[in-house]
Structure 1
Amino acid sequence: MATVLRSYIFITFIVCCISFAILVTSVSTTSWVNARLLSNAGNEEDIVNYGLFIGTLKKIAFATPSYYTIHMACIPKDNVCAWSCKKSAEEREEEIQNLYTTANASFGCIEKDSKGIRNVARSPWDIPKPSITNLMSPTVRGSVDKTFINLGIWASTLTSLILAIVLAGVAALGAVVNIAANPVRTIAAIPGLYIWNGLAAFFAILTMVLWGGHFAASLVDSIALRETITGECHVDTARVGFSYWLILASALLHLANIGILLFRRVMLLRIPEPPKVTPAEDTDGTLFLY
């Protein structure tokens, strides 16, 4: 029964709340990918951090840093996504389309200085069409690597992560129900807690497999940014960040919950059964009159 050893169920509730907070932090932070880019001209260094929706770009040219916000932009018909620091969604989509078709996009993004004043930033690469890739010398141009984020994998990663968040919340709610009552339906009782925690762990691990596999196969050498797609910069270092590894912590927490529930089950089996009271047989027939 859920009313026996309910302290273990309360522990699973706390663990589910922690996991829920971790997953929300993961999806809302910008450290899924951390990368350092070096320009082929040798005069610029870029520091890139991004999550699933938004990120930051720090350009260091001649020891002077400039900061930009980058956004995910996708072209559904081509199943590709990339990062852009353009201001509007239309400008971002146009830039990604140009990068996908011709590896051509000029740099002219909005910079945010230390005082929070937004100014239009100019760059040596802010060249109008024709293609900047064709105008650069071979030494500066490097090799154009049209590597993009796969829209299907990105959408699957996001869907899997959202499901993990929802299931973590359902597992926490199920724990509250089992603390307060003794549900009759299996899905709402203790067996349901095994299901919700198991599914939450599964989708968390699936999220890691999807994004980690895509990163290792495609993004580790080209992080789907304009600078790497046009060949202006090459990736010096790239790795998945703490936002990604938070998901592993969440999966381990839900697996720990299953372990706690199994331990509770073992403890229940060790509780001795109450003695059975067998009424003594009485041959005195006068008692049956009552």
Structure 2
Amino acid sequence: MALYRKFNNLIFFTIAGSILSIIILGVSFGTKNWYESKASVSNNAITSTLTVHYGLFAGAKTIQLNSGDLDAGQKRELKIVCEAKENACMFSCGYNSDVRKRNLVYYLEGGANSSDTTFCIETPSTSDISRFNRAGTFASNLDKSIFLNFALWLLTLLFLVGGILFSAISGILALVNTYRAPSQPILSVYGLYIWNGLSAGCTLMVMIFWGVAFGIGLKDHAAISDTLSNGLKNDSAKLGYSFWILLLPEFLCLANIGILRYRTWKIHQIETTHRVVDDKITNHETLLF
């Protein structure tokens, strides 16, 4: 037991790793830069630049017109709205949940496909719809890939929460194991391998799910009203820092496993050395008698 306690300082390193993982995962969860895009919008011979960024729940978009002062530098806050049955989500600038829901349903039912793009359709009016119909470009079927995939978004969210939870469990149990040795394997140092592994696995799955969502749709379509009305073409879309910082907790959890493995190896090495010495002493005493 004394030998095990001798290496408890290594367990303290894993506590620090777990705390840092929780902090970074929390930052990723709450920040608004999972997705970043800059796009060009053509509107009656006026080319404008649209900048978009959002996280798992909210974000913003800003439009800069290169002709005239209309809406120059206009910014809109975005919030996510989903329709589970249609497996689709979008980021809407509607001022409340009801408006955002109607905004999404509007596009799911075949919303506007107009060259006269509305920067921020909060609640489409009859005049909006009639204007699109007069242009003869009202879409009858909308490709679901231009929306954010609801299943992938939900899995991203659930596994991110799982990563935070498992890192918290790992940190708490690591603290417990510094002053006592639980008899249940899942609560012991052996269990710390499992909890850190689960956290690393969840974080990896988060990156995979969001990466797939980006690859199948968000890379070309930002899942906002400007995209869904086919008035926007992405010039550049990328995964933002809120996504890439997930590499840090992934590394920290794997580092924790490495530290625990080193501790186990070191204890085993010392125990083996002591056993060899004890065997030699026993054999020597046997020869004397």
- Shorter-chain TM-score category? 0.7 to 0.9
Map 1:148-227; keep pairs closer than 5 Å: 148-227=147-226
Map 1:52-63; keep pairs closer than 5 Å: 52-62=56-66
Measure how far apart 1:47 and its partner are: 0.6
- Which runs of no fewer than 5 residues in structure 1 stay unpaired? 111-124, 282-290
TM (norm. structure 1) is 0.82
Contact 1:59–1:65, Cα closer than 8 Å, also in 2:
yes
- Residue of structure 1 equivalent to 2:17: 15
Contact 1:81–1:149, Cα closer than 8 Å, also in 2:
yes
Q: Find the aligned partners of 2:268 and 2:231 in 1 and give their Cα distance.
A: 66
* Residues 219/255 of structure 1: CA separation in 2 closer, same or farther (3 Å cut): same
- Residue of structure 1 equivalent to 2:52: 48
* Residues 273/30 of structure 1: CA separation in 2 closer, same or farther (3 Å cut): same
AA matched with 2:147: F
Identity of aligned residues (%): 28
1:95 to 69, 93, 103: 103
Aligned length: 262
- Greater helix fraction, Structure 1 or Structure 2: 2
AA matched with 1:104: A
Q: CA RMSD in A?
A: 2.6
- Residue of structure 1 equivalent to 2:37: 35
AA matched with 1:269: H
Q: Any idea what the Cα deviations from partners look like across 1:7-59, whole Å, max 9, x if unmatched?
A: 11000000110011000000100000000111023432111000000001111
Contact 1:38–1:233, Cα closer than 8 Å, also in 2:
yes
- Residue of structure 1 equivalent to 2:268: 269
Q: Find the aligned partners of 2:182 and 2:174 in 1 and give their Cα distance.
A: 11
Contact 1:145–1:228, Cα closer than 8 Å, also in 2:
no
Contact 2:36–2:237, Cα closer than 8 Å, also in 1:
yes
Contact 2:14–2:174, Cα closer than 8 Å, also in 1:
yes
Contact 2:54–2:60, Cα closer than 8 Å, also in 1:
yes
- Residue of structure 1 equivalent to 2:234: 235
Measure how far apart 1:107 and its partner are: 5.1
SS in 1 for 2:221: coil
Contact 1:49–1:57, Cα closer than 8 Å, also in 2:
yes
Q: Find the aligned partners of 2:198 and 2:229 in 1 and give their Cα distance.
A: 41
Q: Find the aligned partners of 2:56 and 2:83 in 1 and give their Cα distance.
A: 16
Contact 1:74–1:151, Cα closer than 8 Å, also in 2:
yes
The 10-residue stretch of structure 1 (79-88 or 262-271) with the greater mean CA deviation from structure 2:
262-271
Q: Find the aligned partners of 2:166 and 2:262 in 1 and give their Cα distance.
A: 22
Measure how far apart 1:233 and its partner are: 1.3
AA matched with 2:33: S
AA matched with 1:73: V
1:81 to 69, 83, 89: 89
SS in 2 for 1:87: coil
Contact 2:120–2:225, Cα closer than 8 Å, also in 1:
no
SS in 1 for 2:223: coil
- Residue of structure 2 equivalent to 1:67: 75
- Residue of structure 2 equivalent to 1:121: none
- Which runs of no fewer than 5 residues in structure 2 stay unpaired? none
AA matched with 1:81: C
* Residues 135/185 of structure 1: CA separation in 2 closer, same or farther (3 Å cut): same
TM (norm. structure 2) is 0.83
Measure how far apart 1:248 and its partner are: 1.9
Measure how far apart 1:72 and its partner are: 0.3
